[in-house]
């Protein structure tokens, strides 16, 4: 019997967030390497971080009461 | 790292202008960004209408919320990267050189430079309704250097910039002829 719990999607979401964080770090690295830390670039970075924080907080707030251990898929092999 | 280190600024060199693309060239992307942000709202309304039981589903609702959250973060990241791609395209004009730095995506950067005295010809182009209204366009710089042709797109006031670069090039050529 193969049970896929709901927290599998949470793990996928976490991996996705890590990948986005990696891309963000590369972008900031480009800003540092080119010496273009100006008001406009800092404002864009601040807006991106704050909007992302709002989205993540909203997601956490919406999904607080979820039982992540419940199964999504339940594969049962029929015994011969 | 500062810009002076990035362009390996020489001791006698001073930066006279930093030119970026006109902000109006970013507006079409901002419109697309706004549309993409509203897409999940429409999708949520459609799902509620077609599948009303989804709102109370203990398993499907968290997946849909996670998917929506991932979508928003992906859109934000895409447009942050797009803005930096726009912002890091820079034309640095000094009293000695012209340095064209172009960010190509996140993982690539193209930099070309030419000594001012090697500039042979500059053409400025303003094409289109918005370009004429907001006075932005392209500069085509013909040089005798390794890169024969520079194309700098979407710069504000290209006619003024063309004249400024030509004046600097004339001054630099006169200086080099005096010293040789």
DSSP string spanning B80-144?
A: HHHHHHHHT-EEEEESSEEEEEEEETTTEEEEEEEEGGGEEEEEEE--SHHHHHHTEEEEEEEES
For residue A2, is it within any domain? no
Q: Is A50 on the interface with B (CB under 8 A)?
A: no
Owning domain of residue A57: 10-64
Condensed to tens digits (0 to 9), the pLDDT of residues A26-80 reads 999 999 888 888 899 999 999 999 999 999 999 999 999 888 888 877 666 655 4
Is the pLDDT at B149 greater than 90? The verdict is no
Q: Is the ipTM of this complex over 0.90?
A: no
Chain B residues touching A36 at Cβ < 8 A: 3, 87-88, 90
For residue A1, is it within any domain? no
Which residue is closest to B67 within chain A, CA to CA? A13
The candidate with the shortest Cα–Cα distance to A43, out of B119, B95, B84, is: B84
The greatest distance separating any two alpha carbons of chain B, rounded to the nearest whole angstrom, comes to 84
Looking at the partner chain, which of A33, A44, A45 has a beta carbon nearest the beta carbon of B1? A33
For residue A32, is it within any domain? yes
> What's the pLDDT score for residue B10?
85
**Interchain pair A44, B107: CB under 8 A:** no
Q: How many domains does chain A have?
A: 1
Q: Give the separation between CA A23 and CA A17, rounded to whole angstroms.
A: 10
Range scoring the smallest mean pLDDT among A57-61, B7-11, B153-157: B7-11
């Amino acid at each position: 019997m193969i049970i896929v719990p709901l927290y599998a999607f949470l793990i996928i979401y976490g991996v996705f967030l890590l990948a986005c964080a990696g891309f963000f770090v590369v972008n900031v690295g480009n800003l540092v390497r080119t010496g273009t830390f100006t008001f406009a670039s800092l404002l864009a970075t601040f807006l991106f971080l704050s909007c992302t924080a709002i989205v993540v907080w909203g997601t956490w707030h919406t999904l607080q009461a979820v039982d992540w251990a419940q199964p999504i898929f339940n594969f049962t092999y029929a015994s011969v | 790292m500062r810009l002076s280190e990035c362009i390996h600024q020489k001791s006698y060199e001073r930066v006279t202008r930093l030119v970026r693309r006109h902000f109006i060239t970013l507006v079409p992307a901002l419109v697309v960004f706004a549309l993409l942000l509203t897409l999940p709202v429409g999708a949520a309304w459609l799902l509620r209408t077609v599948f009303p039981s989804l709102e109370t589903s203990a398993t499907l609702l968290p997946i849909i919320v996670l998917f929506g959250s991932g979508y928003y973060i992906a859109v934000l990241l895409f447009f942050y990267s797009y803005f930096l791609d726009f912002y890091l395209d820079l034309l640095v004009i000094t009293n000695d050189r012209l340095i064209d730095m172009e960010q190509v995506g996140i993982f690539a950067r193209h930099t070309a430079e030419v000594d001012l005295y090697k500039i042979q010809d500059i053409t400025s182009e303003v094409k289109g309704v918005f370009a004429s209204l907001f006075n932005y366009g392209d500069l085509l710089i013909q040089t005798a250097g390794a890169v024969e042709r520079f194309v700098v797109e979407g710069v504000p006031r290209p006619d003024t910039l063309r004249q400024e670069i030509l004046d600097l090039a004339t001054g630099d050529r006169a200086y080099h002829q005096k010293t040789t």
